[in-house]
Structure 1
Amino acid sequence: MESKLYYSLEYADDLNCLLSSAEDGAQIERTKTLFEEIRASVNNNDEQDRSFWRPVLPWGGVYTIRAGRKAISCTPLYVKISLKNTCTIDGFLMLLYVILRENHTFPREVALFLGKEFVEHFLHLMDSYDYTTVKLLWIWDRMSKRQYRSEIHRTALEIDLFGNEHENFTKNLENLMSTAQESLCTSWACPQLPGAPPGIISISPPHELPHRDLIQSAVDEFFCPRILLCKELGCDGLREFSHRVFCHGAPPFVILNMQLWKSEDLAYVPYHLALSQHRYLLEGATLFNREEHHYSAAFQIDGYWMHYDGLRSDNLILLSKPPELLLLSSLVYIRESDK
């Protein structure tokens, strides 16, 4: 189902208004980052207490924002933005936070694509437990620039993110993970159109099961050069595709969309991935509960795996076994050299 964003420009000037409102509120004096507190809870955990001490990124959210100048005559002067079905971004926001906090050089690299101000505010808001503002930061700064259509509601503000997490999150990282491949036809009469436009890594299940790891084989096939029959109208030549490369160098992390893969065919998920002359390590995954139409996430800290589910009261727990009744939605790998 297509997600829709409802907001009124009468009530929100821009992203700076959102951030200044958050900074005006009471801030918690912190000696540790949220990541450091989660790491400490993992290392000090026992069998009787396997959950983190407070909810992290709870599902949904309500944000009160001051009315803009054009709404001075309105009653009341403050309006509430209601967030619904935020699981399509919650899991990835949690994974993004862990990745940036655990790898010191990654914030600078990611800032080249998302913006330095965005990365700084994102980390600050997460460490301040200001989770609703974190979600609005992503929505207004990233998502609203891509695929959302705006409609004005005079009585309420509502952002409903029901839909697909790859549409709501991964699409906005295309520049970070973009790849390119050149192609050239052997026929002199061919229009010689360029290769496919840049896009993120897209792997599909193999038609025949290879003798080695399925995911590594699919990634190798995506990046390797190949020769195919040219599909241009009236051309009977062969089109040669070059080795695929990252447009901006090897990214700090990659997200593999696994929605087309069957869980029963993935008895093994590789912890290491050879990718464009770099070695990547499995850092996390997002999971889909078909019965609830709900996404959650899993990630590791110091070798321990944790499960995050914004719908639960104890929404961050140490895993003793893989979550049940869940399908794999995505895999997230980080570049090893910066681990």
Structure 2
Amino acid sequence: MESRFSVLNDTEDLQTDIENTLHFERSKTLFEEIRASLNNNDEEDRSFWRPVLPWGGVFTIKAGRKALSCIPLYVQIHLKNTCTIDGFLMILYVILRDNQGFRRELAVFLGKQFVEHFLYLMDSCDYTTVKMLWIWNRMSKRQYRSEVHQAALEIDLFGNEHENFTENLENLMSTVQESLCSNPNCPARFQDFIKTTIHISPPHELPHKDPIQSAVDEFFCPKLVLCSELRCDGLREFSQRVFCHGPPAFVILNMQQWKSEELSYVPYHLDLCQHRYLLEGATLFNKEEQHYSAAFQIDGCWMHYDGLRSDNLILLHKPPELLLLSSLVYIRASDR
């Protein structure tokens, strides 16, 4: 189902309100507080002491400049079904805080100002503003429509987390695969196939090695297939798929086509384009509740984040039950 959006009359007002929240310094980052809670709490009670990125949110902004009253008017924007971005925002925060070298690298794709504001707002526990920052800064090009002129009182993010998050990472994970048809008369003999996300499919037959590594290898490997161009009987040769901008700081594997029985285990290491990647997190889908949650690791401890729960960040003693794997997130090992 597609997400439903309306837009605000004045985009500058919203951007100003977001920037106005950046007004004080914190002595300790949120990441440091979570790490301290893991180290200081008992083994049986390792939960974070306050909610992190609660589901939904209400964002208050000053009404547009055209308001007739001299008294400032305020509008409340209600956010709904934010789980499609919440889990990934939490994982992105952990990646940026736990891997100092990635900030400048990701700023090339996400923007330096966005990265700075994102980290500051997370450390300030201003979670609704964090979500509005992502929605306005990263999603506006794709989901907002300029022809809608009514004030937005509700933003409903119901839908798919890859549409709302992964596909809005610009060209971070862009890959290209060149192809050449053996038929010199082929109407499109030379072609480039560019993909901006890594959507891997389960193998048709159980491979001898890890199925996820095999599926990733299949996504990147060269191949020879019948040309699909109309009235062409040639063979199309595909080159090795490569990243357009070099190996990214992290990769997200879209696992939505996989069934639980097809995954005997999830590899902690992944070989990708001559680089080793380490498992950093995952997003999970509860089919009954139509709800996403996430898991990530800090100092070797795996945490489960679920924005709908009152204690929404807890130590993960065992994998959550009745959940399907939606995504796997790996970080490049050399810069950890």
Which amino acid in 1 is paired with 2:225?
Answer: L
Tell me which residue corresponds to 2:41.
Answer: 45
Rate the CA distance shift 1:234–1:166 in 2: closer, same or farther, 3 A.
same
Deviations 1:282-308 (Å, cap 9, x if unpaired)?
000000011110000000011100000
Say which is worse superposed, 247-256 or 74-83, in terms of deviation: 74-83
The whole-number CA distance in structure 2 between the counterparts of 1:272 and 1:72 is 60
Matched, 1:166 2:165: no
Q: What secondary structure, in the 3-state scheme, does the structure 1 residue paired with 2:326 have? A: strand
Q: What secondary structure, in the 3-state scheme, does the structure 1 residue paired with 2:12 have? A: coil
The whole-number CA distance in structure 2 between the counterparts of 1:260 and 1:174 is 23
Rate the CA distance shift 1:62–1:74 in 2: closer, same or farther, 3 A.
farther
Say which is worse superposed, 143-152 or 54-63, in terms of deviation: 143-152
The whole-number CA distance in structure 1 between the counterparts of 2:221 and 2:298 is 33
Q: What secondary structure, in the 3-state scheme, does the structure 2 residue paired with 1:100 have? A: helix
The whole-number CA distance in structure 1 between the counterparts of 2:149 and 2:311 is 36
Moved over 4 A (4+): none
Rate the CA distance shift 1:180–1:327 in 2: closer, same or farther, 3 A.
same
Deviation at 1:264, TM superposition (A): 1.2
Matched, 1:71 2:81: no
Counterparts of 1:180-329 in structure 2 under 5 Å?
180-191=176-187, 192-329=189-326
Q: What secondary structure, in the 3-state scheme, does the structure 1 residue paired with 2:21 have? A: helix
Which amino acid in 2 is paired with 1:77?
Answer: L
CA contact (8 A) 1:4 1:148 kept: no
Matched, 1:120 2:122: no
Deviations 1:8-56 (Å, cap 9, x if unpaired)?
315x4355313233135xx4x5221100111111122213422101110
Q: What secondary structure, in the 3-state scheme, does the structure 1 residue paired with 2:198 have? A: coil
Say which is worse superposed, 325-334 or 62-71, in terms of deviation: 62-71
Deviations 1:90-149 (Å, cap 9, x if unpaired)?
000000000000000111111000100000000000000010000000000010111334
The whole-number CA distance in structure 1 between the counterparts of 2:283 and 2:170 is 18
Which of 92, 98, 105 lines up with 1:96 in the alignment?
92
Q: What secondary structure, in the 3-state scheme, does the structure 1 residue paired with 2:31 have? A: helix
Deviation at 1:74, TM superposition (A): 8.3
Q: What secondary structure, in the 3-state scheme, does the structure 2 residue paired with 1:328 have? A: strand
Tell me which residue corresponds to 1:6.
Answer: 6
Which amino acid in 1 is paired with 2:217?
Answer: D
CA contact (8 A) 2:296 2:302 kept: yes
Tell me which residue corresponds to 1:179.
Answer: 175
Deviation at 1:7, TM superposition (A): 2.6
Deviations 1:146-205 (Å, cap 9, x if unpaired)?
133464445x61100001101100001140000001000111111214122343222111
Matched, 1:335 2:307: no
Over aligned residues, Cα RMSD in angstroms? 1.6
The whole-number CA distance in structure 2 between the counterparts of 1:20 and 1:286 is 29
Rate the CA distance shift 1:18–1:193 in 2: closer, same or farther, 3 A.
farther
The whole-number CA distance in structure 1 between the counterparts of 2:68 and 2:281 is 46
Deviation at 1:272, TM superposition (A): 0.2
So what's the TM-score if we normalise by structure 2?
A: 0.95
Give the total of aligned pairs: 334
Deviations 1:213-238 (Å, cap 9, x if unpaired)?
00000000111111111111111111
Tell me which residue corresponds to 1:23.
Answer: 22
CA contact (8 A) 2:199 2:255 kept: no
- Which ranges of structure 1 fall in alignment gaps of 5 or more residues? none
The whole-number CA distance in structure 2 between the counterparts of 1:152 and 1:74 is 23
So what's the TM-score if we normalise by structure 1?
A: 0.95
The whole-number CA distance in structure 1 between the counterparts of 2:308 and 2:195 is 36
The whole-number CA distance in structure 1 between the counterparts of 2:78 and 2:149 is 14
Which of 147, 150, 157 lines up with 2:153 in the alignment?
157
Rate the CA distance shift 1:17–1:95 in 2: closer, same or farther, 3 A.
same
The whole-number CA distance in structure 1 between the counterparts of 2:42 and 2:258 is 35
CA contact (8 A) 1:203 1:218 kept: yes
